[in-house]
């Protein structure tokens, strides 16, 4: 768990390979699957490959998973596509009203790749749950399999009236 967290904190692409998968019986595999889902809940985007180094089982799936993760780590979304995606997303699922005000996403841009970093410019603070929702939808729309996504929010300051 600590190694996986270090990989995520460093912003690196990630593929999790489980060795000796062929030595498990069906019942133990079932319980191990549940345990893996519970333990690695913070990295559901990381592809898993169950391999056997001894027999070579599924070793052919490891390289394509690594290539997919590295490609998504390098993916860049044009600002126009990102903003049209954000516009549709916010229109369908607006941020909940908090304190009598509803923050709006004005626009967004991808600041960098390796890992993909997105900056959203908003009229108010976006809660962590809504940022996770945006991250999940970005993954559904654009992929990013095996790559962490960083989303930061910049709040537009109120303009002062000249007077």
Which pLDDT score, from 0 to 100, does residue 162 have? 63
- Same domain for 88 and 64: no
User: Could you give the C-alpha distances from 36 to 1, 16, 20, 149, 163, in angstroms and in order?
Assistant: 11, 11, 15, 21, 61
Element holding 69 (H helix, E strand): helix 62-73
- Same domain for 146 and 118: yes
- Same domain for 85 and 34: no
Residue 126's DSSP bridge partners are: none
Helix, strand or coil for residue 29? helix
- CA-based angle 74:8:115, to the nearest 5? 20
Domain that holds residue 45: 2-73
Residue 162 lies in a domain: no
CATH number at residue 27: 3.40.50.300
Per-residue pLDDT of the chain (163 residues; tens, 9 = 90+): 899 999 999 999 999 999 998 888 999 999 999 999 999 998 999 999 999 888 888 899 999 999 999 999 999 999 999 999 999 999 999 988 877 888 999 999 999 999 999 999 999 889 999 999 999 999 999 999 999 999 999 998 776 666 5
- Same domain for 6 and 64: yes
- Same domain for 145 and 87: yes
Of 32, 58, 73, the one marking the end of a domain is 73
Of 38, 73, 108, the one marking the end of a domain is 73
Residue 163 lies in a domain: no
- Range 137-141 contact pairs with CB under 8 angstroms and sequence separation of 24 or more: 137/85, 137/89, 138/85, 139/45, 141/85
Round to whole Å and give the CA distance between 100 and 118: 27
pTM: 0.86
- Which one-letter DSSP state was computed for residue 76? -
- Same domain for 94 and 138: yes
- Same domain for 66 and 119: no
- Same domain for 91 and 150: yes
- Same domain for 143 and 94: yes
User: Could you give the C-alpha distances from 14 to 77, 108, 134, 145, in angstroms and in order?
Assistant: 20, 25, 21, 9
Residue 48's DSSP bridge partners are: 16
- Same domain for 58 and 11: yes
Q: Dig out the tokens for 119 from the structure.
A: 């900056």
- Same domain for 84 and 67: no
- Same domain for 50 and 7: yes
Which pLDDT score, from 0 to 100, does residue 77 have? 96
CATH number at residue 101: 3.30.300.20
């Amino acid at each position: 768990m600590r190694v996986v967290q270090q990989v995520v904190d460093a912003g690196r692409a990630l593929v999790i390979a489980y060795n000796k998968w062929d030595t498990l019986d069906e019942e133990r595999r079932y319980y191990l699957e549940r345990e893996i889902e519970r333990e690695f809940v913070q990295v559901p985007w990381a592809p898993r490959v169950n391999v056997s180094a001894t027999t070579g089982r599924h070793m052919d799936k490891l390289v394509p998973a690594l290539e997919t993760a590295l490609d998504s780590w390098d993916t860049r979304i044009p600002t126009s596509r990102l903003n049209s995606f954000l516009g549709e997303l916010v229109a369908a699922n607006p941020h909940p009203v908090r304190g009598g005000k509803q923050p709006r996403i004005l626009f967004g841009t991808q600041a960098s790749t390796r890992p993909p970093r997105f900056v959203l410019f908003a009229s108010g603070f976006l809660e962590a749950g809504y940022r996770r929702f945006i991250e999940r939808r970005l993954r559904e729309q654009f992929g990013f399999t095996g790559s962490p996504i960083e989303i930061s929010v910049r709040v537009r300051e109120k303009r002062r009236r000249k007077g």
